[in-house]
């Protein structure tokens, strides 16, 4: 069974978001997503400085099974990428919530995100 921390926000496309005190959003993929993908072998993340629109394809995660697009859950400017995850993509399989992918400085309105309960209900319907 997938872990779904209650302190995070989620998207129907299986990204998680953690809002930091300074207004930065930290983004990764959920435990459910990494379980579905299997052994992750490669990541392609957005470049620092890139401006993303909400729901824009901005990254790719590849596993031994398939490649999957990662969507920006929010609009903003990429201010950091997780080099450790790039160097060791399998770290996402070990702990999807510790192995964040990128950080955004938010721009514009925040679209609605799912809480843990709503995300659990969404994946139960899959």
Structural domain for 39, as ranges = 10-109
Question: If the chain, 126 residues long, is cut into consecutive pieces of 10 residues, what is the mean pLDDT of each piece?
Answer: 89 96 94 95 97 96 94 96 97 96 90 94 89
**Per-residue pLDDT reduced to its tens digit, 22-41:** 989 999 999 999 999 999 99
Q: Answer yes or no: pTM beyond 0.85.
A: yes
Closest by CA position to 27, among listed 50, 59, 2: 59
CATH code for position 24:
2.40.50.100
Residues 6+ apart with CB under 8 A from 38: 63, 64, 65
Residue 116 lies in a domain: no
Residue 71 lies in a domain: yes
Report how many domains make up the chain. Answer: 1
Answer yes or no: are the C-beta atoms of 100 and 73 closer than 8 Å: no
Residue 115 lies in a domain: no
Residues 29 and 95: their CA atoms lie apart, in Å, by 10
Residue 70 lies in a domain: yes
Residues 78 and 22: their CA atoms lie apart, in Å, by 15
């Amino acid at each position: 069974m997938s872990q779904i921390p209650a302190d995070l926000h989620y998207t129907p496309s299986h990204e998680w978001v953690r809002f930091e005190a300074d207004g930065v959003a930290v983004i990764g993929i959920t435990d459910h997503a990494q379980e579905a993908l299997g052994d992750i072998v490669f990541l392609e993340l957005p470049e620092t400085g890139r401006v993303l629109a909400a729901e824009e394809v901005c990254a790719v995660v590849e596993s031994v099974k398939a490649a999957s697009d990662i969507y920006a859950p929010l609009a903003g400017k990429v201010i950091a990428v997780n080099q450790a995850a790039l160097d060791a993509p399998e770290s996402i399989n070990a702990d999807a919530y510790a192995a964040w992918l990128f950080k955004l400085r938010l721009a514009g309105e925040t679209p609605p995100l799912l809480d843990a309960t709503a995300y659990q209900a969404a994946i139960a319907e899959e």
